[in-house]
Each structure stands twice: as C-alpha cells, then as structure tokens.
Structure 1
C-alpha cells in the first residue's frame, strides 16, 4: 500500500459521515453490507457463532465489527487508515475488538495470529486489492469450511479489471486516486475457484425503493 493510498483513505475517513447512533429498529449495533441504511441482509451471511474468530479486511470505523462482538465473535479488524481506526476506537472502545493498522495482504502473510473462521470485506480491501494477491492470502488463513464474504458496487458495464477510484479533497486540491478491481458477476465464480474457494454464491442486491438505482454486489464463498 503506497503512501498516497494511505493518505487517500485517511482523507476518506475524515469526509465520511459517522454511523447513526441507532438504526431504524433502534439497535445500537448492526451489520450492513450495502451502501444504503437499513437495507439488505445482516451478519447471518457469515454464519458467525460465539467464539468464532472473524476478520474484517478494511474495517473502517468499525461499526460492523462492533456488532459481531455482540454475537460473541472474536472480532479482528485491519485497515491502513489511522484516521479510520482512531474513529473506531473512539466509538467502540468498550467492545471486545482487536484492531491493526496494516495492509491486508501484509497482515495475512505475516504469519502472526490465528487462522479465522470467517473473513469479510464491506466496500473494503477485497475491492481495493489485486485479487491475485489477496485471495490466496485469505484462503491460506481461513480454517476449512470458513466463509469469505464481500460486498461492493457492481461494475460499470465494460469496465473490468483494475480501475481508478477518486477520493475528493478540498476545492483547491486534486482528488486522490486509488485502484479498485471490478469484474462481471459471473466472473467471480471462476476467480474464487481458481484460488481454492467453493460453493461460490454471487448476487446483486437491488437498491431500496427510491431515486437511487445502483445495487450492491454480494459474494459468499467457502474455503
């Protein structure tokens, strides 16, 4: 991860609104796979049980990870942005989560820590890391039968592989550029299978009723 990319994610953290104090159901913690509030499935996608070690790759400000601690999971988050992790500690410091300021591939291949029962990415590292580097690293650190799940925006038609994403700064500053990896929905089955995953399920969650129409790509696979 380059210094420019780290700066970009710190900038993103400072511009991104905080998660609401409670969701529509009045819950203090909740799991959200999509870019829309109170929409889509929850933590059941991961099959988390008490005592499971669950790894969030690109945990951001820690809202999803905090919810997993309420389910009894041993929750571990990784993010390259110190600003994101500072916000996570400020809001969720009373939860039993462990946070690491590391690049996802570096963390997975460093040899430290336990293997995980589940790993996930919500608009996180799976979207913004070359899958040829990240997926084998995830597979090597998942226990047999472990779940990998990730969500991101669906690809723009005709724009596949490594693409550019722009993170806006101040009015007088050029945006910062980070890389993301987009693929057609049907391509994910082969990509994940080539790295040792099975039972791949790919679906497009439609946007909720309203003016916005971009859905959310949700992928689940088993090690």
Structure 2
C-alpha cells in the first residue's frame, strides 16, 4: 500500500538531527556562523546592534541562542514542529529567547511586532518565494532595521526556484519536491531594491579552501535612518552593492 504524500512540514521534521537518532545534546554556542564553515566570515555584527530580532527558519536555534545570550530579544519561527520542540528544550533556560511554530510568511502577516533585525541562516529565505516574503519582511522591520540572509552559492545558470531533496530522506518512498530560490548577487540586489530596501550588499563569500562551495550573503536596510553597510570578512566576489 503506497504511503501518503509527505507534507512540507514533515520534510523539515527529518532535518538533522531528527527523532530516531536518540538523545541529542545541544550544540556549543560560542559564535554566530553565517557560512557552512565554522568561524569563516562575519559574525553577529553583520546584523548591527539589534535589540529585537526575528530568525526565519532557525532549525536547531544555535544562532538565535547566541544572540539571546548577548542581550538580544530573539524569536525563531520554524515550519517544523519537531525542530521547534527540540529548540525549546535545548534553550529553555535562555532569557529573551522564544520559538514559534509557523510558516514564515504566515507569521509575518499575523504579528504586530516590529523588529530591528530579521535574518535567515540557510533558512526560510532560501525556501520561500521572495516576491511573497520580502514585502512582509520590510513591513515588520523598524526604520533602519536590517534584513540579512545567507545560503549556498548558486550554481551557474541555475536561477529562480530549483528543486531539491534532502540527504536525510534517502531510502524513503514518500517523495516531495521542495523548492529553493537561487539567484546571482546582482539579481538578489535587484529584487531587494525593487521591494524597497536600501544600502544593499549581496556577495559570495568564497570558501576557505579553493574549489569548495561558497556562501551567498545578503544585507539590506529598511529606509529612513538606515545603518551603514558592514563589509564581509574574507574574500568576496561579484558586484551586488547598490
């Protein structure tokens, strides 16, 4: 008898580490990583100095926990109830940190909270149509607030919504197509500008070892009292600032 189709939430329920791997310990929280290479590139200063921040798709919640331990009031919004349950259990003793089970656009549409920073570290921004998401982000940012995100460097010529499958689903019969949005730095900058952001910086942070996958990083500001753009640490390629 065939399995029922997998839902998007179930897909992210299986993101590592997942139920079935036994008891799990919370990861160390000694830095804020935007890239997939620990300690490479900028840290939390890429967000400026927010008092209140929203993370879209935090999964295990490591970066949210880091900010909260440094005095930022942080909310993490994740589509997966499994990820939210685990993050709440791991970081329940950190003041000023909360996790909400919701889809990113739905949360932004329903909340009245205004944030100094909204960010995503290889998270929901990568997997949400920017035409739907970016107007909602802009609306929920304070004047001068920062919107920042990171994701994998796009493959040449593979732009727009791209199909993907997670390695954590290998061997499963229940298939699901998940889309991730990829553009080169210039196109991301154009999309951000069209939706009203200013002080836009979009670049690819090259990997520490030649030949490895780089990290696309973007930072933009809601106009009116915007903060200056911070440079990337490390080697960056491609234009993207406007």
Task: Flag whether TM exceeds 0.5 (same fold).
Answer: yes
Contact 1:55 1:76 in 2 (8 A): yes
Shift of 1:172: 4.7
Q: What whole-Å deviation, never above 9, does each CA across 1:172-195 have from its counterpart, x for those lacking one?
A: 535542111111111111100111
How do 1:99-138 residues align onto structure 2 when only pairs under 5 Å count?
Answer: 99-110=99-110, 112-138=111-137
CA change 1:20–1:114 in 2 (3 A) is: closer
Residue in 1 that maps onto 2:160: 161
Equivalent position SS for 2:38: coil
TM-score (norm 1): 0.88
Whole-angstrom CA distance in 1 between matches of 2:173 and 2:33: 32
How do 1:19-168 residues align onto structure 2 when only pairs under 5 Å count?
Answer: 21-22=27-28, 28-49=29-50, 52-96=51-95, 97-110=97-110, 112-168=111-167
Contact 2:206 2:214 in 1 (8 A): yes
Whole-angstrom CA distance in 2 between matches of 1:60 and 1:70: 18
C-alpha RMSD of matched pairs (Å): 2.2
Shift of 1:171: 2.2
CA change 1:133–1:21 in 2 (3 A) is: closer
Moved more, 170-179 or 127-136: 170-179
Residue in 1 that maps onto 2:227: none
Moved more, 142-151 or 78-87: 78-87
Runs of 4+ in 1 over 6 A off after TM superposition: 16-20
CA change 1:3–1:74 in 2 (3 A) is: farther
Q: What whole-Å deviation, never above 9, does each CA across 1:61-88 have from its counterpart, x for those lacking one?
A: 1100000012211101100011111221
Equivalent position SS for 1:61: coil
Shift of 1:29: 3.3
Contact 2:6 2:174 in 1 (8 A): no
Whole-angstrom CA distance in 2 between matches of 1:101 and 1:62: 13
Matched residues, number: 213
Q: What whole-Å deviation, never above 9, does each CA across 1:110-155 have from its counterpart, x for those lacking one?
A: 1x24110000001111110000000000000001000000000111
CA change 1:65–1:218 in 2 (3 A) is: same
Moved more, 125-134 or 174-183: 174-183
Residue in 2 that maps onto 1:203: 203
Whole-angstrom CA distance in 2 between matches of 1:208 and 1:32: 14
Contact 2:112 2:140 in 1 (8 A): no
Whole-angstrom CA distance in 2 between matches of 1:90 and 1:163: 33
Whole-angstrom CA distance in 1 between matches of 2:208 and 2:25: 19
Answer with 1 or 2: which has the greater Rg: 2
